[in-house]
Structure 1
Amino acid sequence: MASFSLPRIHDNADGGWGPPATSLPEQFKYKDVPYAPYSKSDKLGRFADWNDISDNRQSTAASSQSTRGGPAGRRRDGTQAFGSGTASAFTYFHAEDESSFSVVDNKATAPRRGGGFSRGGRGAARGASTYSTRGNTRGGRGGTSNMRGGGGGYRGGRRGGRDWDKNHRTRESSVVISSSWQMLEEIEFHRLAKLRLEVDEPENLESYGRLYAYDKTYDRVTTKTERPLQLVDRVKYNPTTSEDPIIQQLAAKNVATVYITDVILSVLMCAPRSVYPWDVVINREGNNLFFDKRDGGPFDTVTVNENSVDPPQDPSPPNPNNPTEKVPEVPSINTATSLSLEATYINQNFAFQTVIESPPPQPVDFANPNPFYGPEETDPAASCGYRYRVFDLGITEEEDVKICVRTEVDAYSGQGSPLEGKGLVTIRALNEFDPRSQGAGGAQDWRSKLDAQRGAVVATEMKNNSCKLAKWTVQSVLAGAELMKIGYISRANPRDNTRHVVLSTASMRPTDFATQLNVSLANGWGIVRTITDMCMKMPEGKYVLVKDPNRPVIRLYAVPSGTFNVSDEEEDAFDEDNASGQE
């Protein structure tokens, strides 16, 4: 028969609760087991405190002591609580921050006096038109032809709207980062802003194209004498660097180390100002670097209010886990994609419209004809001059680091000979959509402010479009233009993005405007030289420089040699789709 024996009991002769402090049981000796005497009213700790609002250990320990008896662990009757002076060895603290825990309060909230309530803003979805840029800029395979803008936006009040979501919206990268890509370098913008390199005047190699005179009557346009923006069928090419036959000829002669276009170069030089994502494809062939834009990338469109505190947003994609979620069928005309397409359409047609094609004055032909305009084209070529210039990026006389840039000008002013680089003009346009919509950036009504308070309008545009204006200015300086014309284009009706009017045109010198924008060309050249040195340390191959969509960081990836290559069948299908879209 099994026997039963009582366990050994340690009696506390002092009358306390638990074993005496002077006689620790044998099984706990020399076992590194913490022990502290405690009284019956003491709490040994807790793993969840639903009444404590503190989020740190000190306040939790303090509240624990306060529940025992007040300051210094004394009871209300003034006597010392047993064990209160020792460390809380048995108290449990979670290793992570407990501030994320919250208690759901299901009690009804008392209504406000007066029966008032706050109402959120209403979401609106309106149709976005498809701009056919048949006569506009063309890249390697159609450029920006027949692009659609899409998305639906929300506009909320201070309460109950989507203001809470402003700082939490995330953008998608301009290119899908494949798992086969290897990240080589990462540079923060604050490091780029400290770079500096002084560059001398460039060397002019060759010039191509034909320029028409700028129509000076647009300098006298006001809000009371506005002119409609016309759709002009003209052909203008903007191929990427590797597809430029002139750059290929110059590379065969080894006139430089780096080959690039002014559009891509201006993005690199103004990278610290950029907010939206972008990517540049870099090919190293021998000792040469070729910077290319990607087909379907962000270089063929114009951003709108990129630097605004609350820039225009595209709608969030539908939730795949919620198939019943309603998505607006008709996209809004004020989303980031729709506004970018609209701004591109405005810029192209404003440049085509503001030149005089019928003599006098006579057009000016450069030394060589347009290298991209072929005899099979049915629409006339736009006024455009291509100037190939070489800048020396060497720090010492022994260094041979030169960059060949294809620059563009849009017209000439009639003051000086364009063939000698005098009187060259670049033409750009700012656009106004709806001052009351989300993403307007606090813009004033141009029709009421542009003539009387132009300075306020310009200051707002310089704040909301800092990156875009900086890139335009850098492109003008690189091309050697003496004047930059900026048109102010507004919608004829804020709810219609297909009809526009010219309200005014401003004229400025690019170098002076760069000072107003606080654009440092020396800093831009320092950025370009740093990226060049970084790529020249890599072996031959293909690389991609990517601007992070949500952080001020650029990253360099090594990618397989066949990345972004398009087969002949896909290219033919691409051209057929563009042709059908233009019709």
Structure 2
Amino acid sequence: MPFELPELYINPQFSWGPPEEELKLDDGAPFELYSKTDPLEALDWFTYKREADASDSDSDAEAVAANKGKVFKQVEDNARLNALRTEREKAVMFNPRNNGARNAKMAAGKKGGKDNRNNNQRRNRRKVTELPNTYNASAMAVVQHVMKQTDMTKLRMDALPKVVELGLYGTPPLYNTGIESATCARPLPLDESKYDEDYFMRGLTTEDPELRKIMGEAQRHPLVVVTDEILSLLMVCTRSSYPWHIRVLNYNNIWILVKGEESNIEKQWVSETAGHEIRPSEGADNRAERISSLGEESTKVYDCFARASCSKSFAQVKTNRSPFSRKQPRMYSYRRYIMHDGTPDRYDIVARCEVDALMPRTNDRVRCFALLEQCVVSEKDSSWRREGLLKNAASFLPIEYAHNGCKIARWTALSLLSDAKLMKIGFVTCEEKMEKGQRVFNHKQHEVLSVQTYSPASLATQFGIDVSNMWAIVDHIMRPFIEGHSICPSILMKPGDKSELVVVEEEDDDDDSEEDDLDEDGDDGDDGDDKDDE
């Protein structure tokens, strides 16, 4: 049977839509098609919605009435609850770490919860005994100023200080390029036997004849006199965690920063900014692994490496006579830093900066530093020999910056203060010796594994060391003294148990001795009266 198309409906003229007999709904009700020319009638949507809600509520009421006999009741069944708890405990046994979704809702202390695991980690955490404070102020000491270390990290200066070279002193040696031949396979032994501590001792600010000469001149602006050893520590004090203190003296609008006895200013700490598991402890069983022992060892290595980096020849440059005799040969650069130049808040900082050596031919200034490895008994071999320097010497310093951030930042500040073009950083470790068939570390003899060369400016950029922040910290510390809010003599100290700097009034030892003498005299007087009574 052939397929035939249905007959097409053709609308009459001026009409549209289906034929009239089809304009009906299923129930037979007629409807009309809407035309664009037909006006729309307004609808009361609110009334329509209210009527619809009323009809829905009536239907809900009917449903509730119909289901009155089907209401659920809560039944307490302890047996079922206990069975549920037992099932959950069994699930915890097969999932010790309890990584399930319900762990977030588990109460602290429940078996298998993450809170309980973290508590165990804290309980088993390694104890680190810190160093005692270098200056112990009495309860009667007046606290003049307190500065939070976290607040000083946000400081910035609008403009860096202007630098004026005041003079060069001392005979600078030439840099010993032969020390750079050290490798992990063929390390160079570090000579530490023929030098005493006094040979490397830096002269105090008050004992420097050139600084005393500058202080004797008439000053138009407030003056701060300091050495680069102290100034660099102030610049990076936000990174330091071990205790230290500085004496602040005042004389005729001149503020003098002096290194006190046993103030830890010269210490080259090991792993000061390391994590809790790596950081050394003062309570370690092995005396050589304590904080103080590692600090003394690292400081000696630091000085001996600087001496080994200098050759026996001297550079041919015009300088004045060295202010210190029988000390390590080096060049001293006396520099004036003008703070807030051109403003009423101007004051000057005169610093004695050190230059370890000069490069042959170019006479570029060089600062030499030694980074000592933290050798522990638990390790059978030096990790620097085995992993770090041997495989990835170029990127090794950024890794060590996490453990020694304060020290490396201070070295960068020292190099920038002395206008050194190059930084020579030597990686030094302990020599290994055999005792009773076992390999142990000899903390009295050291070897140079490698020497890397860096630019101070590029190193500061790489590690995010903001020079503007360093000078802003110095300005923030010295501003209370210059404005008269802090009275001298005083002590600027970094407590070991707090993240802050404290300025306290320096106590006079003579007053204590006089009080003791008065007490003794009073006791003698009482004895005499007793004898008279007898």
* TM-score bucket (shorter structure): 0.5 to 0.7
Unaligned runs of 5+ in 1: 1-73, 78-112, 114-157, 317-327, 418-422, 567-583
Match of 1:274 among 236, 240, 248: 240
Q: Which moved more, 1:166-175 or 1:270-279?
A: 166-175
Match of 2:160 in 1: 199
1:243-298: CA deviation from partner (whole Å, max 9, x where unpaired):
22211110111456101111111111101111111111111223111111111210
Q: Map of 1:296-445 to 2, 5 A cutoff?
A: 296-310=262-276, 311-315=279-283, 332-357=287-312, 359=313, 362-364=314-316, 366-373=318-325, 377=326, 381-394=327-340, 396-417=342-363, 423-434=364-375, 437=378, 444-445=383-384
2:410 is aligned, of 471, 490, 496, to 471
- Do the aligned partners of residues 474 and 563 (structure 1) sit closer, same or farther apart at CA in structure 2, a change above 3 Å counting? farther
Contact preservation (8 Å) 1:542, 1:561 = no
1:162-221 deviation line (CA, Å, top 9, x unaligned): 974546745421211222311111111121111112324410102211111111122232
Partner of 1:510: 456
Say what the alpha-carbon RMSD is for the aligned residues.
3.2
Residue type of the alignment partner of 1:240 = L
AA aligned to 2:496 is P
Percent identity at matched positions? 23
Quote how far apart the aligned CAs of 1:433 are. Answer: 3.5
Q: What is the distance in 2 between the residues matched to 1:496 and 1:563?
A: 45
TM-score by length of 2: 0.66
Q: How far did 1:416 drift?
A: 2.9
1 CA distance for matches of 2:377 and 2:119? 17
TM-score by length of 1: 0.61
- Shift in CA distance, 273/565, structure 1 to aligned 2, threshold 3 Å: farther
Larger deviation, residues 512-521 vs 468-477: 512-521
Within 1, Cα distance between the matches of 2:136 and 2:226? 23
Query: Which of residues 525, 549, 554 in structure 1 aligns to 2:496?
Result: 549
Equivalent residue, structure 2, for 1:244: 208
SS in 2 for 1:271: coil
Q: 1:201 to 1:565 in 2, by over 3 A?
A: farther
Q: State the AA in 1 paired with 2:369.
A: R
- CA distance in 2 between counterparts of 1:201 and 1:437 reads 51
1:517 is displaced (CA, Å) by 2.0
Deviations 1:431-464 (A, max 9, x none): 11426659x9xx9433443032124532321000
In 2, Cα distance between the equivalents of 1:364 and 1:564? 53
1:184 pairs with 118, 135, 144, which one? 144
User: Structure 2 vs 1, CA of residues 189 and 564 (structure 1 numbering), >3 Å: closer, same or farther?
Assistant: farther
Structure 1 pair 451–383 and aligned structure 2 pair: CA distance change class (3 A): farther
Q: What secondary structure does 1:386 align onto?
A: strand
Q: Give the C-alpha shift of residue 561 in structure 1.
A: 4.9
SS of 1:286's equivalent in the other structure is coil
Q: CA deviation at 1:332?
A: 1.6
Equivalent residues of 2:490, 2:503 under 8 A apart: yes
Aligned to 1:126: none
Native 8 Å contact 2:271 2:374 kept in 1: no
Which one-letter code corresponds to 2:321 in the other structure?
P
CA distance in 2, matches of 1:478, 1:356: 24
CA gap 1:556/1:407 in 2 versus in 1, 3 angstroms: same
Give the conservation status (yes or no) of the 8 Å contact 1:229–1:499. Answer: yes
Aligned-partner residue type, residue 488 of structure 2: G
State the aligned residue count.
Answer: 385
Aligned residue number for residue 222 of structure 1: 183
* 8 Å Cα contact 2:492/2:504 also seen in 1: yes
Question: How far apart are the structure 2 equivalents of 1:448 and 1:511?
Answer: 28
Counterpart contact for 1:212–1:412, Cα < 8 Å: yes
CA contact (8 A) 1:444 1:457 kept: no
Equivalent residue of 1:554, what SS? Answer: strand
Residue 560, structure 1, aligned to residue 522, structure 2: no
Name the SS of the counterpart of 2:185 in structure 1: helix
Which structure shows the bigger proportion of residues in helix conformation?
Answer: 2
* Unaligned 5+ runs, structure 2: 1-73, 78-92, 94-117, 433-439, 514-534
Tell which structure's C-alpha radius of gyration is larger: 2
Letter in 1 for 2:230: I
Is the 1:259–1:291 contact (alpha carbons within 8 Å) kept by the matching residues of 2?
yes
Structure 1 counterpart of 2:172, from 211, 224, 228: 211
| 239-248 or 520-529, larger mean C-alpha shift | 239-248
Q: Deviations over 1:136-178 (max 9, x none)?
A: xxxxxxxxxxxxxxxxxxxxxx999997454674542121122
Distance (Å, rounded) in 1 between the aligned partners of 2:383 and 2:215: 48
How far 1:548 moved relative to its partner?
A: 2.3
